[in-house]
Structure 1
């Protein structure tokens, strides 16, 4: 039975997450030739090709399969090392997260973090991003995960990902374009709300707000009841909803940026660990099918208990 070296798996995952050999080398402290050699060793060990280098750095089918397993293996390795090899870390971290992620892949990540660091207490609050950032500036949070406009955003390099917005509706909902578009929205200041109303205004399509709530449950329940339509990032849409980027000829909504707000100089050891943990999880959620599947299952179960 062959053993997969952990350093080769980490190099492979880092290349995929960062989108290049050079970027991975900068993070891992190795030259590009050394990174290329590690990939070659991993390919020879498994007798497969991981990257289809024609037309860009894309994973092969075997590469996607290995990536899924490698993420799990590295997560388990890091959890064990954190518990047994690293100094014990304790304390409390005040974390702010966008409403959309309170029932998606984020609870899974936070559960994994709590198992790896049982002495760290997490105080998590969900809200609209603009409120989270305002509260962070007032000292209410140690770390905030929030959404912002793309390409304009408030995040440092490598501290964000870009996600596409999609219209969502109940499968039985019928949009009558002879009437103003009925919208289910978060309150003023929400990035989604701005994107939706700006897109409709620019397309000269009349609209009206039929339901407004700062609660994700309220938004999803109103959509499920057929009151109107809304939009979410693709990574958080439950499978029970119909999702289209150009719903009934409505305009595309573009993309948003999801990232972190923090003060590197004032982060506690516990907050630093959580930030690094969430960074990896957020990047993996973009391309990791299992994370997306878990997100949808959690969302679906969340709505079904109502």
Structure 2
């Protein structure tokens, strides 16, 4: 029997969507191991890894960057998410909902808007996926999200809707030595 503590870090979006299933399976297969979970932005999780405050962490990276020593688990398109039947993407300037500085999805979205010369304003800012979803579903703004995060009440907006391509991101895992 293995005993001890595993200190796990995860970005908010994966903490909400993926970790409950993973942690349940881990608890069943390793009942004598306690798991301490930290939910934070990837840049902060990387710092915690460097400070040896975490044993394993998930990180989101833009398609242009990769974390040193990270294993890429998933590469996925980032899309502009809008409310189903919504019109936020038609407003001028474009109202966008974004995460805080340091977010890979934010950087890609702002780069894409700049590349296309699209006028925008940050209408909503939240460091949590639930906040982003609220802004989208209320049709207050559009937001960059991984394609797999779209729910039934959201649609992917593309070139036909006047929205620029954002690119992809990586979900990576770093394990302490």
Rg larger in structure: 1
**Using the alignment, how far apart are the partners of 2:132 and 2:91 within structure 1?**
24
Structure 1 residue 126 corresponds to structure 2 residue 36: no
* 1:194 pairs with one of 104, 107, 111: 107
Instruction: State the partner residue of 1:208.
Output: 121
Which secondary structure state, in structure 2, belongs to the residue aligned with residue 133 of structure 1? helix
**Displacement of 1:171 after TM fit?**
1.1
Q: Deviation of residue 260 (structure 1)? A: 1.0
CA distance in 2, matches of 1:249, 1:148: 26
Residues of 1 paired with 2:70 and 2:141: CA distance?
37
Q: Does 1:229 align with 2:142?
A: yes
Aligned in 2, Cα 1:207/1:133: closer, same or farther, shift over 3 Å? same
Deviation by residue 1:227-251 (Cα, 9 ceiling, x = unmatched): 1010111233323211244461211
Aligned match for 1:179, one of 58, 83, 92: 92
Relative to the length of structure 1, the TM-score reads: 0.54
With a CA cutoff of 8 Å and minimum separation of 6, indicate the structure with the bigger relative contact order: 2
Q: For each residue in 1:59-78, what CA deviation from the matched residue of structure 2 results, as whole angstroms up to 9, or x when unmatched?
A: xxxxxxxxxxxxxxxxxxxx
Distance 1:108 1:209, change over 3 A: same
Listed one character per residue, the Cα deviations across residues 202-222 of structure 1 (whole Å, up to 9, x for unaligned) are 100011101111122222122
Secondary structure of 1:96 counterpart: strand
User: For residue 8 of structure 2, what is the aligned residue in structure 1?
Assistant: 95
Matches within 5 A, 1:264-275: 264=177
The count of residues paired between Structure 1 and Structure 2 equals 177
Note the 1:1-306 alignment, pairs <5 A.
88-156=1-69, 158-175=71-88, 177=90, 179-246=92-159, 248-264=161-177
Instruction: Tell me the secondary structure at the aligned position of residue 26 of structure 2.
Output: helix
Separation of aligned partners in 1, 2:72 and 2:95: 35
Structure 2 unaligned spans of 5+? none
Query: Which sections of structure 1, spanning at least 5 residues, go unmatched?
Result: 1-87, 265-306
- Normalised by the length of structure 2, the TM-score is 0.90
Comparing both structures, which one devotes a greater share of its residues to helix?
A: 1
Q: Distance in 2 between matches of 1:113 and 1:187?
A: 31
Pair 1:143–1:248, CA change in 2 (3 A) = same
Contact 1:92 1:121 survives alignment (8 Å): yes
Q: Deviations over 1:23-78 (max 9, x none)?
A: xxxxxxxxxxxxxxxxxxxxxxxxxxxxxxxxxxxxxxxxxxxxxxxxxxxxxxxx
**8 Å Cα contact 1:155/1:259 also seen in 2:** no
How big is the shift at 1:127? Answer: 1.8
Q: Which structure's residues are more often strand, by fraction?
A: 2
Report if aligned partners of 1:183, 1:208 keep a CA contact under 8 Å in 2.
yes
- CA distance, structure 2, for counterparts of residue 178 and residue 241 of structure 1: 17
